[in-house]
Structure 1
Amino acid sequence: MSIPRHPVPLGFVFRSRAKEEKATAAKAAVTDSKQPRDPQAPKGRPTPKRSEAQTPRRSVANTKLTRKDASKRQRDERRTAMERQRQALASGDERYLPARDKGPVRKFARDFVDSRFCIAEFFLPLAVIILVLSMVRVPQLQNIGMLLWLAVIVLIILDSVGLVIRLKKQLNARFPDQSKKGATAYALMRTLQMRRLRLPKPQVKRGERP
């Protein structure tokens, strides 16, 4: 026994399709409205996804420099670092000083030496005078030169020993929890340089407490 099929009106079919299209358009509008818009994006255009926005940046970051460009960049960076270091040696800026001069312990050691008169800083001028006296073919002047040489050596040793003792005492009192390794040798090397030739430049005057 066959069941009679009732024909579906064409108007009902068209109305169903129209409703489905309207529902799809409404869902798409709601989805677009929920997506945040980039403030830099032009109006009327959807905001690009994060992955799409980062793609140009990644491509730029991953772009390999040529060997010539890389060498030029390294030279510029070295030149900039050397210029900053030179200025820091003149001004005492701790940020760009060489590693051997950085730190509060080394700074105090420099100031401690620069605030004193050290016999060792006159070693080079005295050595020149003694050398000239030793070259003169006068026995008396040569003897004076030898005695002066011995006196300078003894005075430098005594002055250096006293400086080391006082410096260690000050460092232990001011920086009890910090490493003071090499600070006294650093100070002694600085005493051998004439004040105007010292680097970093002295930041304290003679007689001024560091």
Structure 2
Amino acid sequence: MDDTPVPVDDPKPQGKGRPTPKRRDAEGRRRQLVSAPKDRKEAYRQMRAKQAAERDRARRGMLAGDERYFPARDKGAARKFARDWVDSRRLPSQYFLPFSLLILLATWVPWPMSVRVQVLNAVIVFGWPVMMIGVVFTSGYVAWKVKKEVAAKLPNESLKGVGFYAAMRALQIRKLRFPPPQLLPGGKPVPPKK
């Protein structure tokens, strides 16, 4: 038997400093009263309320940029890089939808017949082809550039689908992008909403 005293500055503490609680006391603290629903309708109401609260929490998390709540297609460092790359630039393809709407409105306006023919010819011969060529070239450039940048900056990340993801994000109107942009054009962070 060793009778040497234990030094005061011993790195291994002796015990945990409190007695171990009895099992029935520990189990009693863990137990909570469960209020079971009275009938099926009440059970459905409780379930719907719980699901609505969960959806609301997930929605707030997604809008705040919390990646835990993102769908699988938006998760990962490569996808975040692609989103930030697209959001920090003004690209011609982001004006595709507003330009399409403008062209459609121009063809629906009840112009006089001579003007209507000229408008339709301008749209068919010039408007749509220029817009489509611009979208195709911009989308190709965005996909190529983002894949190249991701490969250089995140070598361990998978490149599968990153270029297409960035190209599709570049086609969306900025205010309608989801997840919401975290950067302004030019690369500055989006100011928090009040």
What TM-score does the superposition give when structure 1 sets the normalisation length? 0.65
Alignment root-mean-square deviation, CA: 3.1
Once the two structures are TM-superposed, the CA of residue 87 in structure 1 deviates from its matched residue by 1.9
Mapped pair 1:166 → 2:145? yes
Alignment of 1:1-210 (within 5 A): 49-50=22-23, 52-53=24-25, 56=28, 65-66=36-37, 71-135=44-108, 136=111, 137=113, 138-146=116-124, 147-208=126-187
Contiguous gaps of at least 5 residues in structure 2: 1-17, 190-194
SS of aligned partner of 2:157: coil
Amino acid at match of 2:157: Q
Contiguous gaps of at least 5 residues in structure 1: 1-35, 40-48
Amino acid at match of 2:97: L
Larger of the two Rg values belongs to structure: 1
> Aligned residue pairs: how many?
164
Once the two structures are TM-superposed, the CA of residue 77 in structure 1 deviates from its matched residue by 3.5
Higher helix proportion (structure 1 or 2): 1
Q: 1:68 to 1:59 in 2, by over 3 A?
A: farther
Q: Measure, in 2, the Cα distance between the counterparts of 1:196 and 1:180.
A: 26
Q: Measure, in 2, the Cα distance between the counterparts of 1:58 and 1:203.
A: 42
Q: 1:59 to 1:83 in 2, by over 3 A?
A: closer
Q: Measure, in 1, the Cα distance between the counterparts of 2:178 and 2:31.
A: 46
- Whether the aligned pair in 2 keeps the contact of 1:115 and 1:206 (CA below 8 Å) is yes
Q: 1:37 to 1:125 in 2, by over 3 A?
A: closer
- Whether the aligned pair in 1 keeps the contact of 2:77 and 2:157 (CA below 8 Å) is no
Q: Deviations over 1:32-70 (max 9, x none)?
A: xxxx9778xxxxxxxxx52x4466568758x79445665
- Whether the aligned pair in 1 keeps the contact of 2:92 and 2:135 (CA below 8 Å) is yes
Q: Deviations over 1:179-203 (max 9, x none)?
A: 2322222222212211112122111
Q: Measure, in 2, the Cα distance between the counterparts of 1:59 and 1:209.
A: 50
Q: Measure, in 1, the Cα distance between the counterparts of 2:84 and 2:96.
A: 20
- Whether the aligned pair in 2 keeps the contact of 1:114 and 1:206 (CA below 8 Å) is yes
Amino acid at match of 1:204: L
- Whether the aligned pair in 1 keeps the contact of 2:87 and 2:184 (CA below 8 Å) is yes
- Whether the aligned pair in 1 keeps the contact of 2:140 and 2:167 (CA below 8 Å) is no
Q: 1:37 to 1:202 in 2, by over 3 A?
A: closer
What TM-score does the superposition give when structure 2 sets the normalisation length? 0.70
- Whether the aligned pair in 2 keeps the contact of 1:88 and 1:200 (CA below 8 Å) is no
Q: Measure, in 2, the Cα distance between the counterparts of 1:197 and 1:59.
A: 46
Identity rate, percent: 38
Q: Measure, in 1, the Cα distance between the counterparts of 2:43 and 2:166.
A: 40
